[in-house]
Amino acid sequence: MDPGLRRDDDGEASRPSIRHLGAGRGPVSLIIPMTQKILQPGEIGEHQPFPNVVLPNDPELFANRARRFKHLSDGHAMSQLLDVLGKLAHAQHLAYGARPPSMIPAEALAQSREHGMPALSYQSERLPDWQHDLEHIRATLKSGDEPVLKEAAEKLDAFDEAGRESIADAIFGGGIAGDDEHTHAMVAPLVGAALQVSWTRQAASMNANDIGLIGSSTVCPVCASRPIASVIEVAPDQSNLRYLHCSLCSTQWHMVRVTCTACESTKSVTYLSLNGAEEDEPSRKISFARAEACDDCHTYLKIFSREKEPMMEVGADDLATLTLDMLTDEAGYLRSGPNLLFSPGVPESE
């Protein structure tokens, strides 16, 4: 292999042409292999069936996220932020176990099965249930010992139920609630955390056969939200499979690889990763994350390799790889899916 070139993780690239970006930022730069083999639907999964949709059945999901944040924060350039988010994830775990799921209307399940309409669509009228989860998270953080989260919980005290709904509206709409950006940046991750808890609990109460075929793979088949990122899962005896991870309800769904997760184009997908030597351990930790970028719609979403980092957890590893987001943004691509625990204005504790 030529010096400076790296074989693509897919194992399908022939001789990728490489662009280096991020020059002048020290050791960090981006590699873009330009050539990918395109897989067609049906090419994979020939050897054995694989699930199209994986519901969030792990009751330890948020506890695992909290542990992963804690692990990642050790020695990380953004250790304080990751530590804070780990404590927020732990509060999610406590709220998650505090109450049972509500009944999903039979009509919504029937429409999902028969017409592929997401049963828990975030665009439908929101049930007030999630406010119980927010209240649980707020109380946990207010009595906790993390000053940034304590302050955020206190700021949330100023919002009544209608005010909290308007923060949720702003999160789903991509805006801010009210005209105080700083306050919004403080409280939005708490509201996002509660929405995740509530939707994940409901999604976990469904059965796989409640979910019909939805026309598009770009949004969650359960709640119609955009994914946080995708993960290439190790699948013995066949091409490894790519699953998208819902940013709201934690459901995973399959999508053919080398396809834009925003516009489904297969023509202009390129992969950007932080440059580094393949052999040494630190580079393993960066090379498991790449940005799958599309030159048709100019967006990107991160894609992680389970093979390279078996302990990875999408929600936490996404926020531990913000350098990749920054460089991909500088390269002219807009991120296409949110992470509800993160608002760029959230201050790091000192």
Q: Which of residues 239-258 bind Zn ion (CB under 5 A)?
A: 246, 248-249, 251
In the set 12, 263, 322, 323, which binds Zn ion (CB under 5 A)?
A: 263
- Which range binds Zn ion by CB under 5 A, 51-59, 139-147, 157-165, 265-273? 265-273
Considering the complex, state which of residue 295 and residue 309 has its C-beta at the smaller distance from Zn ion.
295
Q: How far is the CB of 342 from Zn ion (least distance, A)?
A: 18
Helix or strand or coil: residue 187?
helix
In the set 222, 228, 231, 241, which binds Zn ion (CB under 5 A)?
A: 222
Cα 321 to Cα 39, 85, 247, 291, 308: the distances in Å are: 27, 14, 16, 10, 15
Contact 30, 332 (CB under 8 A): no
CA pair distance 6, 13, nearest whole angstrom: 10
243: enclosing H helix or E strand: strand 241-246
Contact between 228 and Zn ion by CB under 5 A: the answer reads no
- Which range binds Zn ion by CB under 5 A, 34-42, 77-85, 155-163, 264-272? 264-272
Q: How far is the CB of 44 from Zn ion (least distance, A)?
A: 21
Closest CA to 189 of 80, 85, 301: 85
Contact 156, 187 (CB under 8 A): yes
Beta bridge partners of 293: 270, 300
Q: Is 328 left (phi over 0), alpha (psi -120 to 50) or beta?
A: alpha
Query: Hey, what are 70's tokens?
Result: 């804690």
Q: How far is the CB of 294 from Zn ion (least distance, A)?
A: 3
Contact between 211 and Zn ion by CB under 5 A: the answer reads no
In the set 109, 119, 197, 223, which binds Zn ion (CB under 5 A)?
A: 223
Binding mask 155-194 for Zn ion (x = CB under 5 A): ----------------------------------------
Residue reference for tokens 């406590």: 94
Contact between 260 and Zn ion by CB under 5 A: the answer reads yes
Q: How far is the CB of 238 from Zn ion (least distance, A)?
A: 26
Considering the complex, state which of residue 129 and residue 154 has its C-beta at the smaller distance from Zn ion.
129
Q: How far is the CB of 315 from Zn ion (least distance, A)?
A: 13
Q: Which of residues 268-307 bind Zn ion (CB under 5 A)?
A: 294, 296-297
Contact between 134 and Zn ion by CB under 5 A: the answer reads no
* Count of residues near Zn ion by CB under 5 A: 15
Contact 282, 276 (CB under 8 A): yes
Contact between 220 and Zn ion by CB under 5 A: the answer reads yes
Provide DSSP, 78-123. THHHHHHHHHHHHHHHHHHTTSPPPPPPHHHHHHHHHH---TT-TT
Contacts to Zn ion by CB under 5 A: 220, 222-223, 225, 246, 248-249, 251, 260, 262-263, 265, 294, 296-297
